[in-house]
């Protein structure tokens, strides 16, 4: 497997892990304090089902990223979602931006993984990369 193809898979795998973990742990297994704070900031503290629905959507996105590698739209969707969610937190709950392991570091790293997977997507499709086959 070429280095570009490996980079593509590392980008997809990193994104899939990120979405699966954040869909499962702070939304489905335990509704985290951060998720609750965001619901409150939007005036939706009585709707924890929204966080659970988001968790299910994140798990589905993680599965699509791994199981359907020929699709490019999940990479674009991931990048736009990560950017949009970062802006949402900055506007609705800016105090979260200074916490340890905050949305700035997580979402920017996630967008970087999207970029890696995006620029190496042709190597994944063809199996050919700049550094060999």
Question: Per-residue pLDDT tens for 28-55?
Answer: 999 999 999 999 999 999 999 999 999 9
| Percent of all residues in the chain with a pLDDT value above 90, rounded to a whole number | 88
Residue 72 is part of which domain span? 3-126
Q: Is residue 133 part of a domain?
A: no
Q: Is residue 26 part of a domain?
A: yes
Report the predicted TM-score, pTM, of the whole model to 2 decimal places: 0.90
Q: Is residue 109 part of a domain?
A: yes
How far is Cα 125 from Cα 13, in angstroms, rounded to an integer? Answer: 16
Task: Answer with the residue of higher pLDDT: 84 or 101.
Answer: 84
How far is Cα 73 from Cα 3, in angstroms, rounded to an integer? Answer: 23
Number of separate domains in the chain: 1
pLDDT the model gives residue 127: 59
Q: Mean pLDDT, to the nearest integer, of 8-27?
A: 97
Phi/psi of residue 129, nearest 5 degrees: -135, 170
How far is Cα 72 from Cα 43, in angstroms, rounded to an integer? Answer: 34
Q: Is residue 9 part of a domain?
A: yes
Residue 113: CB atoms within 10 A of its CB come to 23
Q: Is residue 131 part of a domain?
A: no
Q: Is residue 8 part of a domain?
A: yes
The per-residue pLDDT of the chain, averaged, comes to 93
Report the candidate in 56, 112, 58 with the shortest Cα–Cα distance to residue 83: 112
């Amino acid at each position: 497997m070429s280095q570009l193809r490996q980079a593509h898979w590392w980008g997809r795998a990193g994104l899939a892990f990120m979405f699966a973990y954040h869909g499962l742990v702070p939304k489905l297994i335990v509704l985290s304090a951060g998720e609750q704070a965001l619901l409150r900031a939007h005036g939706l503290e009585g709707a924890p089902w929204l966080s659970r629905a988001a968790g299910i959507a994140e798990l589905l996105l993680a599965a699509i990223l791994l199981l359907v590698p020929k699709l490019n739209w999940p990479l674009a969707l991931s990048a736009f979602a990560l950017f949009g969610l970062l802006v949402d937190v900055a506007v609705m709950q800016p105090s979260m931006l200074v916490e340890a392991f905050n949305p700035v570091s997580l979402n920017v790293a996630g967008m970087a993984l999207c970029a890696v997977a995006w620029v190496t997507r042709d190597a994944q499709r063809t199996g050919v990369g700049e550094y060999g086959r």
